[in-house]
Structure 1
Amino acid sequence: MTHSYDEFDEDFGLSGLTQKVRYPTLFPDETEALRLVERMAGYFDGANAGLLLEDVRLLLESPLPDEVIVTLWLAATRRYFDPVAHGLDGRAWLNRIADVCVARIRLDDPSFVLPAAPEPVGEHGVRAAVLEEIRGVSPALTKAAVTSLYAPALPDVVPALERAVAEVGADLAFRLFLRAMKAYFVPIGEARHSRFLLLGERLGYHEFVVDDGCLNVWDDLAD
């Protein structure tokens, strides 16, 4: 299954939501966090609600343990909003997001009902390529997530991303991986940057979804 996302010139879906969870916008409670979800669901004239809902359902209906789902969220947001600290496990938080998305979709289509479970996107040989890139930066990403001066240590980022590739699919896993790389400002070389862009093309992304200016690219770094 292949989607075309090239009409969206910025990050979308769940990865787009995690992009907006940033200091100093720290949410005092779930209500404040859901206000951001509501705003994000309205992006692209409301089309983002469907994209966000699809991403969330892929995670909800996957076999991933709840702690892995939480780790994926925390890695992509640099732990700026921890649902567990607000009394929510990972799936409970995703269900809150899903409810907001359904409500937004029904503003335009009151008869909307949830379709069949979404299928993973971009599976034609892309999983192996995404997994290779994750493993290629594993030491640097793990170190950044453990030693960050601005967020508590998160040592299990790479295993969580690897499981997402296998159990959720290349598309969402790659976007969450990119967000983690940007959140922790992990350095990459020009060759890896080019491979990221090529993977984005294979998955149907606009180039700005892959590199929105937040990747830490070094022209003299070998990778």
Structure 2
Amino acid sequence: MAPRQTEWDFGLSRLTKFFAGPWSYDRTVDETISDAALGHLDEPAGEAAWAILADAVRLEQSSLSTDVITTVWMVASEGGYNLASFGVDGRDWLRQVAAVCSEQARQADPEGASTVEPVTASEESVRAVVSAIEAAEPALAAKAETFFGHEPGEVIRALELVAAQVDPDLGFRLLLRVLDACGVPISDAQYAQYEALGEMFGYGRFHVSDVEHLTRYRPAPRTA
């Protein structure tokens, strides 16, 4: 796969960072989505908006339950934009994200593609990502009993479903984001595995390195 035209995280996983708690309430929701959709200065116009749009549409149109969608959003965004607290349905939220990003993508490239197609992923890529997600469960469970109201096992199952039923690329990006958001320690072997997956998916040089610091992270012992 050819490298993407960004060196950083992208798509829905990147959007979650813009809503990470404490979320900045001096910006409206749509303004915050728009900020993320602008991308970096060295990226082609409209690329960041299209990446978020594609992720949002594929997830919204998938067979996954709305609870699964809400779980991955809640944990990856560090509980910053709590959909339940704002009375927002998970699928309605993705439709809102898609509407904002669709307009920005259209303005940047009026003649560009407008239809988001489902991902046709290889069984090998799905197995590799699901395996990486499964391997992260013990460390996630050791870190805390719940993450923003969601148990570690629930988080892992939600990520696995995204990888297996929607897009392994998106599932892997969300895994990286969840690990970073929750401060979950990872081994050098896990990081090497993530680098290999990032290379397979064509990630930029500063994408997987977002979690490199977790190889040096040792959480304080949990008290009784």
Shorter-chain TM range is 0.7 to 0.9
Q: Return the offset for 1:26.
A: 4.3
Alpha carbons 1:145, 1:154 under 8 Å: kept: no
Q: Return the offset for 1:213.
A: 5.3
Q: Return the offset for 1:130.
A: 0.8
Alpha carbons 1:56, 1:97 under 8 Å: kept: yes
Identity rate of aligned residues, in percent? 32
35-44 vs 101-110, which moves further: 101-110
Q: Return the offset for 1:174.
A: 0.3
SS of residue in 1 equivalent to 2:179? helix
Equivalence for 1:125: 124
39-48 vs 198-207, which moves further: 39-48
Equivalence for 2:29: 33
Alpha carbons 1:201, 1:207 under 8 Å: kept: no
Alpha carbons 2:66, 2:91 under 8 Å: kept: yes
Equivalence for 1:68: 68
Pairwise CA RMSD of aligned residues? Answer: 2.3
Cα gap change, 1:89 to 1:219, in 2 (>3 Å): closer
Q: Return the offset for 1:124.
A: 5.3
Matching of residues 141-160 of structure 1 within 5 Å: 141-144=140-143, 146-147=145-146, 152-155=148-151, 156-160=154-158
Structure 2: stretches of 5+ with no match in the other structure: 219-224
Alpha carbons 1:26, 1:81 under 8 Å: kept: no
Q: Return the offset for 1:9.
A: 1.0
68-77 vs 15-24, which moves further: 15-24
**Cα distance in structure 2, aligned partners of 1:82 and 1:5:** 34
* TM-score normalized with structure 2 length: 0.85
Equivalence for 2:221: none
The residue type paired with residue 126 of structure 2 is R
Structure 1: stretches of 5+ with no match in the other structure: none
**Cα distance in structure 2, aligned partners of 1:205 and 1:124:** 19
Cα gap change, 1:185 to 1:153, in 2 (>3 Å): same
Equivalence for 1:81: 81
Equivalence for 1:137: 136
* TM-score normalized with structure 1 length: 0.85
